Amino acid sequence: MSIVRNVKVESRDIKWISDNFKSGELIIDNSFQRRYVWIKKDKISLIESILMGYPIPEVYLWQNKTDPETGKRVHSIVDGQQRLGAVFDYVSEQFSLEKKHLEYQDANFSGKKFSELEDDQKAMIWGYDFSIRFINNSIMIDDIKNLFLRLNRTNTTLNPQELRNAEFNGEFIKLADEISKHPFWKDYNIFNNTDLRRMLDIQFISTILIFIRMGIAEETSQSAINKVYDQYNDEYPEAEEDKELFMELLNVLNFILKGKDNLQYIAKRKTHFYTLFTLSFYIFRIKLDSANNYQSVSTKLEEWFAHYKNETNFENDTVRALLDEYRLLSQEGVQKKANRQRRLDILKEYLSA
């Protein structure tokens, strides 16, 4: 079905956008949309453009359902989430127009929240028209996802994981998303704000799920992640089993990291975290599960990574050689299968020494 024949172009002002966000008639569909990406300076730049009277790129909305009783039409944002979200946040008093982020820093709206603007400036914002392409509900969700991908594939601000989020809505990505909400990640600050905004936490967790399902020798490239998403999109019979194991291994890591500053510092680097996670799998599998054993492992790893972090070395020649090799493998070709396996083997050898 041709999407063009089912699209009408109309103008809607910011008052309409705000009202429809509040009423729930304008929504973000997380089945294909990425997480909210814009940071404050991006939002401020957009509001400044509106106050200066500059045009804003058009927005795509999809009428995906109508309440038969009330006639309320719900529209999903296909393209323009960042722009519409920014204007709604501003009129909702979520941020001010900080001077440092303005191109015209001496403008009389500098530093002001919406409620602090002059009346004519408020009226300008409320009455500012967006050009909106309305797609009617005869278009199916798969066609909408394809449209979103086509609109954004040439947009360099979309990373591979954000594109995957639009293309896949199956069992594997759902499990990765569920695991990303576990408090462990926040407790140890494994992901920074950029990771969270750009869905890089989902991508990294996906590589760990690949390890659980297929082993350390499996590729973790972008194309490999796509392949696994496709393979386990419709059916993922081992999902609960993999989730349970993932939770167990996070518990092991919690025992190892808790109270160890050097380990917590080093775990924020994805290369080391991946290695520590695979090591926790090894520890779990050999049933090294007493508190004393965990404490011994934690203490030895704390010493190892203290030397790594401070660029010092062990007196023991054998252990020193292992650390030198680990340093090299953590700096060059970190995603190579052989290097990932060797980093794990080095830590296993060190712990057994």
Inform me whether the pLDDT recorded for 216 exceeds 50. yes
pLDDT at 157: 57
Give Cβ neighbours of residue 88 (< 8 Å, ≥ 6 apart): 17, 18, 21
- The pLDDT mean for the chain works out to 84
Other beta carbons within 10 Å of 245? 17
- The pLDDT confidence band at residue 195, using thresholds 50, 70 and 90, is confident
Cα distance between residue 193 and residue 69, in whole Å:
42
Cα distance between residue 75 and residue 79, in whole Å:
12
Mean pLDDT lowest among 11-15, 153-157, 209-213: 153-157
What pTM, to 2 d.p., does this model score? 0.61
Please state the rounded mean pLDDT for residues 36-41.
Answer: 77
pLDDT at 30: 64
Higher pLDDT, 6 or 62: 62
Between strands 59-66 and 73-79, the pairing is antiparallel
Beta-bridge mates of residue 8: 134
Please state the rounded mean pLDDT for residues 85-91.
Answer: 93
pLDDT at 135: 80
Q: What is the domain partition of the chain in residue ranges? A: 4-157, 171-352
Q: Which spans in 183-316 are helix H?
A: 183-187, 193-197, 200-214, 222-231, 239-257, 261-267, 270-285, 291-310
3-class DSSP state for residue 132?
A: strand
Q: Between the CA of residue 211 and those of 50, 204, 273, 349, what are the distances in Å?
A: 48, 11, 13, 21
Between strands 129-135 and 73-79, the pairing is unpaired
